[in-house]
Each structure stands twice: as structure tokens, then as C-alpha cells.
Amino acid sequence: MKLSKLICMAILGFNVTSAFAGSNDKFYIAGDAGVFQADFNNRYLDRTDTIKQNIVQPVTQYGYTAGIALGYSRFLNQNYFVGGDISANIDTNNASFQSGASSSAISNHMRINDHFDLTLVPGLMLTNDIAGYLKLGVSYALLENYLKSPAGFNSTITAYNSNKNAIGFIAGLGIEKSITQKLSLFTEANYRDYGMVDYPNFQNFMVTYSHAMHVYSYDVVLGLAYTF
């Protein structure tokens, strides 16, 4: 009886860890979903007045993110592996700023619409079926920015719809657990920084403002990966 139990345990252990065993080369497809936050540190700088009416206003986009990834990894030995992946995610909701003062009546809505990552993924085996890993690489984001401001003596509202492509870096930390020969669960926490993004100047009554923002984001996701 004891021998049969040991054999069953050995078979079960092989099945659980087989996603990390066998060939050194692993190709996988993954899907993830989670919570997302993007921060926009806006700077509206007065370029006209002697006494500047500058506005510095941080706003935050709270939403959800979901996406897919394709990746490859290779074991260097029993404990360490290195790989890379490319991923695409859609992000929801937007951030808003409204200044109601007559001298600076600006309405601005902004968001990260989606982002794409190309990352290097080094990692190590923590147990037979659990791996920890880092993600380091570059990130590309589509930024949407819709700004309305009164211009001229008659205070005619003018809309400035300016979309931008931003490139920055990503750094993340993840943990993955094999659940079958082909499937594994993972969770990640990622940080992306796109630096300063400049937008066209705009009129606010008779004042010309420049507009720039520092954009960075965070997410925490849960996902499922299938190994070929």
C-alpha cells in the first residue's frame, strides 16, 4: 500500500511539474486581466503674461486592463531560465481635469487607451512547480487627450483633440505556478514610465499655454499561460 501511494504521488508530481520540465525550449501564449492605474502630471504653462498663471495638476486614470502575450523561454540549467515576450493590452476609463476659474477655464480628458510591451524575462525556480521572474523592457502606449478651452475676446470654446504615441520602459515582477502539463497560472505587478509627453500649445482667452505631462502607470494582473 505504501509503495502504491508513493508511485501515485510520483506520477502526480510529474504531471504538475511537467510544464517546467522536459525540453529546454518553451513557447507559450498567455492571457491576463487585472486592475490598472495611470498617472498624468499635467503642466499648463502660461507663455503670454508677465505674471504667469501656470497650472500644475496631477490626475489619475483608474480602470481595468486585459490582454494577450506570446513568449519564449529557455532553461539555462535546472534552476534558472531566460526568455522574452511581446504583449498587447487594452485599458479602460479616463482621467479628467476641470478648472472653473474664468482666467483658466480648461477642461481636459486624458487616458492610456492601450499599451504594448516587449520584455526580457529572466527567472528562477522557487520549487518544482513554482517560478519567480522579472520583466524588463520597452513599452509603447497610445495616449488620448481631449482639451477644451475658451479662446479670444468672445470666449469661444475651442477643442484640441491630440492623440500621441509614447515610448517608455517597463519593469515588473511575477510568479507562476504549473497546474497541468500545458497550463500554468501567473500573477504580475508592473510599472511603466513614458516620461514627459508634449502637446500642442492652446489658447485660453488671450493667453497662450503650452501643455506637457509626465505619464506613468501601474497594473496588477492575473493570467493563464498555455505552453506548446
Q: What is the pLDDT of residues 40-77, one digit of tens each?
A: 999 999 999 999 989 999 999 999 999 999 999 999 99
Q: Model confidence at 14, in pLDDT bands (50, 70, 90)? A: very low
Q: Where are the domains of the chain?
A: 2-227
Return the closest-CA partner of residue 196 out of 211, 209, 182: 211
Is 28 in contact with 10 (CB distance < 8 Å)?
no
Q: Give me the percent of the chain exceeding a pLDDT of 90.
A: 76
Cα angle at 23 between 176 and 125, to 5 degrees? Answer: 30
Highest average pLDDT, of 13-17, 137-141, 155-159, 178-182, comes from 137-141
| More reliable by pLDDT, 96 or 8 | 96
Q: pLDDT value at position 42?
A: 96
Core vs surface per residue 178-194: b (16+ CB within 10 A) or e: beeeeebebebebbbeb
Q: Model confidence at 10, in pLDDT bands (50, 70, 90)? A: very low
Residue type, 85: D
Residue type, 175: I
Please compute the mean of the pLDDT values over residues 106-133 and round it to a whole number: 96
pTM for this predicted structure: 0.86
pLDDT per residue as tens digits for the range 21-39? 556 789 999 999 999 999 9
Q: pLDDT value at position 156?
A: 83
Residue 100 has pLDDT above 70, yes or no: no
Q: Does domain 2-227 correspond to CATH entry 2.40.160.20?
A: yes
Residue 3 has pLDDT above 50, yes or no: no
Q: pLDDT value at position 91?
A: 98
Please compute the mean of the pLDDT values over residues 99-118 and round it to a whole number: 85
Residue type, 8: C
Please compute the mean of the pLDDT values over residues 162-171 and round it to a whole number: 96
